[in-house]
Chains A and B, each alone.
Chain A
Amino acid sequence: MITIFGVPSAALFGQLLLGLINGSFYAILSLGLAVIFGLLNIINFTHGALYMMGAFVAWMLLNYLGIGYWWALLLAPLAVGFVGMLIERNYIAPLSFTNQRQSFVLIGASALGFLLLFYGLRIGPTAAFAGAAAIGVAAASVYAWKRPSQTSTVHVDHLYGLLLTFGLALIIQGLFRNEYGVSGLPYSIPSQLSGGQQIRIFDAPIMFMPNYRGWVIVASLVVCMATWFIIEKTKLGAYLRAATENPTLVGAFGVNVPLMITLTYGFGVALAAFAGVLAAPIYSVNPNMGADLIIVVFAVVVIGGMGSILGSIITGFALGLVEGLTKVFYPEASSTVIFVIMVLVLLVKPAGLFGRAS
């Protein structure tokens, strides 16, 4: 058996691989948070819940409709992205409206919907709540289409967005917990990616690499790089970067900035859902899976620098590796190392490693 620094190679590389897998999820999730933070200026606490929702949509597609992993990889992000766009239009955008008429329609229709579904049609509480939310959003969307609200030019503190999305995250998690419990649901690895490879150097076995884990790393790298490319190198990305700096002026050039914000939020949470589908066969599908992960991801975002695209990708993978190495050499610190780094970075460079101080 080969040992490195007194550690068996299989254990070292095994932990590095695990670190890279965790890093993949950190990177995709913090990337979505960075994109959303840049344009909407809110810290999106629903991100973990929507990552979990992505995994659940994949599970539901398989168990209710018989649709497998590969389609889920496409459909779950689309479905969750659509939910995200509704959240942005009906809950987040009204925070900066000049009047709250649309919100009153939302609240009123949701309340009436719940009374109708729960007491009228005797539907179960979870389904009635979800149905009522859908009715409220539908009514508010129709109202917003008939009478669009004006966005105030007065800046809204991002604390409100944080609190709002935090509340929504708890509601979404609670709904899934009510319906599916917390013991976790199995989701199997697609047959094309089962099995694994023995990786050897000079005929010496170094480690065993399950195919699915290799796929997760490759897929997340590709998605992260594609997102980076779109934002930094295309015309669409130029609009996004410009609107991040000065949305009023971009609007004064004739660009529909509110629509761009909605689509960006949808894209950011679709990334989270994509990560959720990737995670489903590795971790069990569990209503708490997002809440556990998102705290670490927020630390990653803080270390990388709020709103920095490349920073969030690099920091995500790097911190996954750091965490893996810590598990080998100093396992006692493995669950706190990221937070120790966060504190150190904040002390030395408060805007984050890749962030611009404003």
Chain B
Amino acid sequence: MAEAALRAPRAGAAAAPLLAVNNLEAWYGESHVLHGITFDVAPGEVVTLLGRNGAGKTTTLRSIIGIMGKRTGSVTFDGAETIRMPSRSIARLGVGYVPEERGIFASLSVYENLTLPPIVKPGGLSVDQIYELFPNLRERSGSQGTKLSGGEQQMLAIGRILRTGAKLLLLDEPTEGLAPVIVQQIGRTIERLKGEGFTIILVEQNFRFAQTVANRHYVVEQGKVVDMIPNEVLDQNIDKLHRYLGV
């Protein structure tokens, strides 16, 4: 596949990518997990990384935020090369990360969890706006973070990075293991965030869900991006996608 096909469609001069990942490789200790990931994301876009278990989707997000032990290649965010930065500096450029395991702190209350990530850029949501988005969190603000239900924990994990002013959100399987009604609520939230201009990278197993929110889909296989499917033509490519995902 030609390199150019993996790029965002450039509609005029305006769409310089917010995030450009070039030939990214990463290792867990001795094991080589990413073998040259290349893709980019335009400002305000929602893209998904689809792929089988172990394809390297989560590792790609971890590499973008900088919490992999060893990584090479190039990751530029907002014009800045981040490959040699520690994760705290990458976060301070305006990248918000929601890990797959959600990372809610047991020794902190819901409110403390929500206000923990420091504000890195102006323009983030206020605590009240986050409570409006996720009313459950307001009711339970005094509870211990890990006493929340799985869905509420996911809302908390997303909510707390909306406060920081991050422009790029990395969401790792936000719908995993959640009831359909909660998945819908998360879907509506992502729609709304997209409407407010957030740029989102979504790792998903569930492409039916991904289809409802994303502009484009990147297919990851064995540590490489092997295909890019715009959301408009997802239905025509459904057989191809089934082959990729092995379902």
Contacts and interface: CB of A to CB of B under 8 A. Distances in A.
A257 B87 CA distance: 10
Interface in A221-244: 235, 238-239, 241-242, 244
Interface residues of B, number: 28
A255 B164 CA distance: 12
B99 interface: yes
Given A252-B91, A254-B118, A254-B164, A245 B105 contact: yes
Nearest to A250: B116
Contact of B116 (A98, A242, A244, A251): A242
A220 B60 CA distance: 50
A202 interface: no
A291 B88 CA distance: 39
B107 A242 contact: yes
Interface of A: 98, 150, 152-154, 235, 238-239, 241-242, 244-246, 248-257
B108 interface: yes
A152 B117 CA distance: 23
B122 to A, nearest CB: 14
Contacts of A235: 115
Contacts of B91: 251-254
Given A238-B112, A241-B107, A252-B91, A153 B118 contact: no
Contact of A248 (B67, B112, B116): B67
Contact of B108 (A241, A251, A256, A257): A241
In the complex, the 6 A-B pairs of residues with the closest C-beta atoms, listed nearest first: A254-B91, A253-B117, A241-B107, A153-B69, A249-B103, A252-B87
Interface of B: 29, 65-69, 86-92, 97, 99, 103, 105-108, 112, 115-118, 120, 161, 164
A251 B87 contact: yes
A251 B86 contact: yes
B97 to A, nearest CB: 5
Contact of A239 (B89, B92, B116, B161): B116
Contacts of B86: 150, 251
Contacts of A153: 67-69
B69 A254 contact: no
B107 A245 contact: yes
Contacts of A251: 67, 86-88, 91
B247 to A, nearest CB: 31
Contacts of A256: 88
